[in-house]
A and B are shown apart, each in its own frame.
Chain A
């Protein structure tokens, strides 16, 4: 007898390409049968009318505690990894999670920035965004190049984290923009020698040199080439701004040469800013407006313009005439929708949430048991709705991808990015006999995110059942409050 059988759902597995009605049987936390299952299960779930898919794997989840897990469960997530910031010391963090009890599978990279805080400023801080903030009391770790001795100390600490099973190295460079390239390059060589990926929040976010996003990506790609490390780019959408097409071209070219560079994105637009001059100087301007440059008339002088260069010259003379356009919704402008699409739909790219912790009004992280989450618990809506928003808008409404391909970006691609160095990930992100029974069942017609800035604690809708390691977390759209089936995802620990 099986522990659990899901009957008659539309089973979609991006690895095998299977998309059809089937039963899924679970035994001892693993998938034990697929197809027509005749044997009964201790628990039988009618999945007819629902999509049955591998649970989503989030590479970028900062919440890492009970309430964050629960909100993400309703977003279809079964494995939530803290890879961009990472944690340090690694072993202690895994012990703490096991002790606290988790709903989702959890794991973390070695937190370079926390090793740096310890090595350069002797501060002990908690491995979190808030902990990083508190360590700003002595901000040399953020602003300064490490001395040779400090650098060696940082590398040793990071290596200890990898020895303790850390899933890679987190490089939140934006928080420590003062770090030198030599230090990072040593750490990338360390990652390469361990065969683990690195996860970078690039140091610069600007479309203008010096210190542009393109500068940072070019450095990152250089590190992939010069050290052989796998360089993963975090939230490609938010750090590329208007240069995302160029950035994507650079990443594609690097990939085509065999460099290990990968990307993730979340499906929330950032405010896109366009300076007036950019618009007028666009060579396609006459086609777009249906009129040539002669239709532009300077209000002040009544002068008409003959061509593009005259417009640009006039604008340079009077910068006051430039209007900054902020398109705060990608639908406002096809161009901006296309820019967000470049990162969200990047071939081989993962969807990852950058979910942030739930904070109370006094700034404390909420880690309590209340369900639904208290109304005064605050987070970014992406902490609740990243995956369902992506599937609803990009897959169901806009049909930019098939459901199979959309799901691939939510489960299989992130698992594949990790599995070379973390064997446990080869059993996640797919529905195959022998794989972990991390399974989401959702109603495809109604699946949607519901969170916004005013109501970030609104869980997504449409996830009817969710299982982590074969244990039920969501049943009939309701939370199983006592469920704590999350298990560590960790590299084999050196003995």
Chain B
């Protein structure tokens, strides 16, 4: 049982709290625990607020909200002990902090095993950036962008079209374009930043997602009966990554055939950890790839992944299966 973590970074006033508020308001059936800088800034409809005790604000939809207590690891450890435990954790960092350090501590294998970092998000204030291009040279700003799996461009409505285009052109030097999304688009941040784990509680969600948003993305699954060769798999993923939003699955490698590993790619960050073995894991590989519609040639993708399958013992027909949704 793991509880995924989304990290939200960005300068003071960039729009981090807005993003967190939105996730709390539309938790998509998840019991989200938000760790925030400033309670006062949490702007939840009064009818959602339930109670506040021992520094934790409970919402009617099952979400909770608390401020950072001392060190982050302690706050995390406390959250996962709550009854009932949260399904997901969102951490809002202070505007002055370098998320690289926090990402590093979240990637401690011991921590990751319980609370895996799902997505590191950095919110960029388009208006602020247009006014102060010197930010592009600010080391903290650069680190915030570099540490992000996905950047959210906020307040784009406050910049005219030409200004926005210029901004995007410069931003592209720091982050691949497909990893920069607009705060204003319709996909709920909860859906965007947490991958499709089965939420343990299906709360009736008030504002259900417009299906149209999902149509922007397509999903393909790929599987193999046989284990894959790590180096070849890395090579395939490296070549697919620029076309993917995320990928996730259980993979068995030839050098450790008895040990299925959980593979996760978000943006250009890939993690590999031991999988909690289930009845489905029989030594092969199963992946789900998500890309913007029309962006990736799925046949190419499947061919690349096929090439990573260990074919030493059996040189017969490829064992893979491809399903597209």
Residues of A within 8 A of B (CB): 268-271, 273, 276, 279-280, 285, 288-291, 295-300, 318, 320-329, 331-334, 359, 361-363, 375-376, 378, 380-382, 452-454, 456
Contacts and interface: CB of A to CB of B under 8 A. Distances in A.
Contacts of B231: 279, 285, 288-289
22 contacts: A271-B271, A279-B235, A279-B238, A295-B307, A297-B239, A298-B239, A299-B239, A299-B300, A320-B175, A321-B241, A323-B268, A328-B271, A328-B272, A329-B109, A329-B261, A329-B273, A329-B274, A331-B256, A453-B110, A453-B114, A454-B114, A456-B77
A271 B109 contact: yes
Nearest to A334: B255
A492 B80 CA distance: 47
Contacts of A320: 175-176, 179, 242, 268
A279 B272 contact: no
A289 B175 CA distance: 29
Nearest to A380: B110
A323 B269 contact: yes
Contacts of B112: 271, 328
Given A271-B104, A321-B238, A324-B268, A290 B114 contact: no
A359 B232 CA distance: 44
Top 4 nearest A-B pairs by Cβ distance? Answer: A320-B176, A271-B107, A363-B70, A288-B231
A324 B269 contact: yes
Interface string B79-114: 011000000000000000000000010011111111
Nearest to B253: A332
Given A270-B108, A285-B231, A452-B114, A321 B239 contact: yes
A361 B73 CA distance: 11
A289 B229 contact: yes
A354 to B, nearest CB: 12
Contacts of A325: 234, 270-272
Nearest to B114: A453
Given A324-B268, A326-B271, A376-B81, A452 B69 contact: no
A299 B109 contact: no
Contacts of A326: 107, 269-272
A283 B241 CA distance: 23
B81 A375 contact: yes
A322 B268 contact: yes
B243 interface: yes
Contacts of B80: 454
B259 interface: yes
A268 B113 CA distance: 13
A299 B242 contact: yes
Contact of A453 (B104, B113, B243, B307): B113
B78 A361 contact: yes
Nearest to A456: B77
A378 B114 contact: no
A280 B81 CA distance: 42
A280 B241 CA distance: 15
A245 B109 CA distance: 21
A290 B265 CA distance: 24
Interface of B: 69-71, 73-74, 77-78, 80-81, 104, 107-115, 175-176, 179, 229-232, 234-235, 237-243, 253, 255-256, 259, 261, 265, 268-274, 300, 304, 307
Contacts of B241: 321, 323
Contacts of A375: 81
Contact of A332 (B113, B175, B261, B268): B261
Best-surrounded residue of B78, B114, B237 (most CB of chain A within 10 A): B78
Nearest to A318: B242
Contacts of A324: 268-270
A268 B109 contact: yes
Contacts of B265: 323
Given A270-B109, A454-B80, A323 B261 contact: no
Given A299-B243, A320-B242, A453-B77, 17 more contacts: A271-B108, A276-B234, A291-B232, A299-B240, A299-B242, A300-B242, A321-B242, A323-B237, A323-B270, A325-B271, A328-B113, A328-B271, A329-B274, A378-B73, A378-B74, A382-B110, A454-B80
A329 B237 CA distance: 19
Nearest to A359: B74
Contacts of A269: 109
B128 to A, nearest CB: 24
A290 B74 contact: no
B272 A333 contact: yes
A332 B74 CA distance: 28
Nearest to A361: B78
A320 B112 CA distance: 25
A334 B229 CA distance: 12
A199 B111 CA distance: 27
Given A291-B232, A299-B300, A331-B274, A363 B238 contact: no
A268 B110 contact: yes
A323 B261 CA distance: 18
A193 to B, nearest CB: 38
A378 B271 CA distance: 26
A331 B243 CA distance: 29
Contacts of A381: 110
B270 A331 contact: no
A328 B109 contact: yes
A378 B78 contact: yes
Contacts of B70: 359, 363
Contacts of A289: 229, 231-232, 235
A363 B69 contact: yes
A329 B175 CA distance: 28
Nearest to A381: B110
Contacts of B269: 323-324, 326
A337 B9 CA distance: 32
Nearest to A453: B114
A382 B109 CA distance: 12
Best-surrounded residue of B69, B261, B271, B304 (most CB of chain A within 10 A): B271
Contacts of A332: 253, 256, 261, 272-274
A296 B274 CA distance: 28
Contacts of B274: 329, 331-332
B238 A323 contact: yes
Nearest to B173: A319
B272 A329 contact: yes
Contacts of A271: 104, 107-109, 112, 271
